[in-house]
């Protein structure tokens, strides 16, 4: 089949229309570099290289970025064929990376395909950086004796080291791709979710006591430490260590201090079954107002689910935590004894030991 080369040939007109519509740059030029045709995509890429508006020669336009282009084209001795294949050239002004494909059609005709691959190039570099970083992380974490798991922002496990697998009774094939919540029991107060959301806001690490569920269904207490991986793009990766509490079924080293604690109003709710629907909302507001001043300036108090509160202590000073929780319990009792009338106060005195 003959190529459409005549200007009056309908197929030639169709080819020219196609070349003008394609989103990549196409340039037709002669052996001396003189441009015979450049579609709009090519013109938009090459025009910034012609501050005086002179787009007559592709060799001149790319002289700074590809100084050997003329030499390569003129030295190509074959009657037709590919001269340059996906060669990237970096431009300073504008600061972009172009990819060039140069082909010889015949002795008088050459074609250049030009694409802006700046974003693609940066994405490729980012993939390489992340792949190398993950390889190094895997090498480090897999040799730690502390149970460690790396999860994505959405909670799915990317990596679990041997110590974590042993603690949970799983192997890496079973854990990779599993959601971390599958290893935890229901969270009625919402403490785990609240801590995770708070960390997404401020990026700070935290520790909290949890109940983990081993593969055989056995539950054991552990302290979970969660931190966002330094340098992770948009806080995508979290590193979680699990330290079983001494005395539990899978006890290990002395556990760290839990920073996230819950304060439950369940015993008050259970002692006031008839009055609770009426006073629950006001009680929650009064309890929050009473407890907040007892905490440190950097501590966080949030309402949880199921008539509970979540305290996120800013440090790991366990004696301070315990003292604050004792004062909070006393303050909560005062709220119910003094704010809802004699009948509620008597019910509290009768139903809840001082």
Per-residue pLDDT of the chain (354 residues; tens, 9 = 90+): 344 455 555 565 665 666 666 678 889 999 999 999 888 888 888 888 887 778 889 999 888 888 888 888 888 888 888 888 777 788 777 778 888 888 898 999 999 888 887 766 555 555 555 555 555 556 656 666 778 888 887 788 888 888 888 888 886 556 777 788 878 877 888 888 888 888 777 777 778 888 888 888 888 888 888 877 654 454 567 778 887 775 544 444 444 566 778 888 988 998 899 999 999 999 999 999 999 999 988 788 888 777 888 887 877 788 898 899 999 999 999 999 999 998 888 888 887 764
d(CA 138, CA 132) in angstroms, rounded, equals 10
For residue 224, the tally of other CB atoms under 10 A from its CB is 24
**Phi, psi (degrees; rounded to nearest 5) at 156:** -85, 140
For residue 284, the tally of other CB atoms under 10 A from its CB is 15
CATH entry, 144-258, from 3.90.1150.10, 3.40.190.10, 3.40.50.300, 3.30.450.20: 3.30.450.20
Give me the residue spans of the domains in the chain.
10-116, 144-258, 261-351
Task: Output the CA torsion 201→204→207→211 (10° steps).
Answer: 30
Fold match flag (10-116 vs 144-258): yes
Q: How far apart are the first and last CA of the chain?
A: 99
* Architecture category of domain 10-116 in CATH: 2-Layer Sandwich (3.30)
Predicted TM-score of the model (pTM): 0.46
């Amino acid at each position: 089949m003959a190529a459409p080369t005549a200007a009056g040939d309908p197929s030639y007109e169709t080819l020219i229309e196609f070349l003008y519509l394609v989103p990549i740059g196409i340039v037709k030029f002669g052996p001396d570099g003189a441009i015979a045709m450049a579609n709009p995509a090519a013109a938009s890429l090459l025009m910034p290289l012609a501050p005086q508006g002179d787009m007559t020669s592709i060799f001149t336009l790319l002289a700074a970025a590809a100084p050997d282009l003329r030499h390569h084209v003129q030295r190509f001795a074959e009657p037709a064929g590919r001269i340059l294949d996906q060669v990237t050239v970096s431009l300073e002004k504008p600061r972009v990376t172009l990819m060039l494909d140069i082909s010889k059609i015949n002795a008088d005709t050459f074609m250049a395909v030009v694409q802006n691959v700046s974003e693609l190039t940066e994405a490729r570099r980012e993939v390489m950086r992340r792949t190398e970083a993950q390889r190094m992380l895997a090498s480090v974490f897999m040799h730690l004796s502390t149970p460690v798991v790396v999860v994505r922002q959405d909670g799915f496990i990317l990596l679990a080291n041997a110590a974590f697998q042993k603690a949970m009774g799983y192997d890496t094939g079973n854990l990779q791709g599993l959601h971390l919540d599958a290893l935890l029991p229901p969270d009625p107060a919402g403490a785990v979710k609240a801590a995770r959301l708070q960390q997404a806001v401020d990026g700070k690490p935290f520790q909290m006591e949890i109940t983990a569920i081993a593969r055989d269904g056995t539950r054991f207490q552990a302290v979970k430490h969660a931190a966002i991986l330094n340098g992770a793009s948009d806080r995508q990766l979290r590193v979680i260590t699990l330290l079983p509490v001494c005395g539990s079924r899978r006890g290990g080293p002395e556990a760290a201090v839990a920073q996230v604690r819950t304060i439950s109003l369940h015993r008050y709710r259970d002692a006031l079954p008839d009055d609770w629907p009426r006073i629950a909302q006001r009680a929650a507001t009064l309890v929050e107002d009473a407890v907040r001043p007892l905490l440190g300036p950097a501590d966080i108090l949030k309402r949880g689910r199921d008539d509970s509160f979540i305290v996120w202590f800013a440090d790991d000073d366990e004696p301070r935590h315990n003292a604050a929780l004792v004062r909070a319990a006393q303050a909560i009792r005062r709220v119910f004894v003094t704010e809802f009338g004699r009948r509620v106060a008597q019910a509290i005195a009768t139903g809840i030991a001082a």
